[in-house]
Amino acid sequence: MLFDLDGTLLDTAVDLADALNAVLQANGARPLPFEFIRPVVSHGGNALIELGFGLKPGEDGFEPLREQLLAYYSSHIARRTRLFPGMEAVLDYIESNGLQWGVVTNKPGWLTAPLLEALQLSTRAAGVVCGDTLEQRKPHPAPLLHACRLIGAEPDRCLYVGDAERDIQAGRNAGMTTLVALFGYLLDSDRPETWGATALIREPGDILAWLS
């Protein structure tokens, strides 16, 4: 059982929104409503800076703002982040039935490790693959295949859950069963029914039907 991190295993949106709004206010801009920020969270710091300031990577002023965002976020990384409601029951089921679970995320390791540790998940996960673990990142299947090697599982016996199209692309190309987490951070323009996933799920508890 493999999970994407932001928007799938963990509800990190509030802490990331707080980080963006702190940077906006520090630079004389008005904070944005949480509902406006939440759908963008899965796409990382670059997307958040573009949302807040209208700047793209490589443009003047982008990188200092991105560094401010990451600095604030790293120092407040688990202030309000939690497992999605119902996800603890899923992890308990996996562990009590002799199965293993892991994380495959594009989030860099220097942010992923302290986040999982703060939530006491680092010792429970059988394998964690971050955005800088390999040269390739999702949607490339290599991170998922590497996770399989870490936990000693065959890809066709793995289930991968994510909330972005790149997650489903990576899982499909790795030969895994894939589930779209509709409770995650989807944009209004997303059409998850076209991503080619095995199924779409509306809450973490829906995973239990696939595991049983």
Q: Which residues participate in catalysis according to the annotation?
A: 4, 6
Tokens found for residue 102: 């892991």
CB atoms < 10 A from the CB of 23, how many?
A: 25
Instruction: Kindly report whether the peptide bond that precedes residue 141 is cis, defined as omega within 30 degrees of 0.
Output: no
Strands 82-83 and 10-11: antiparallel
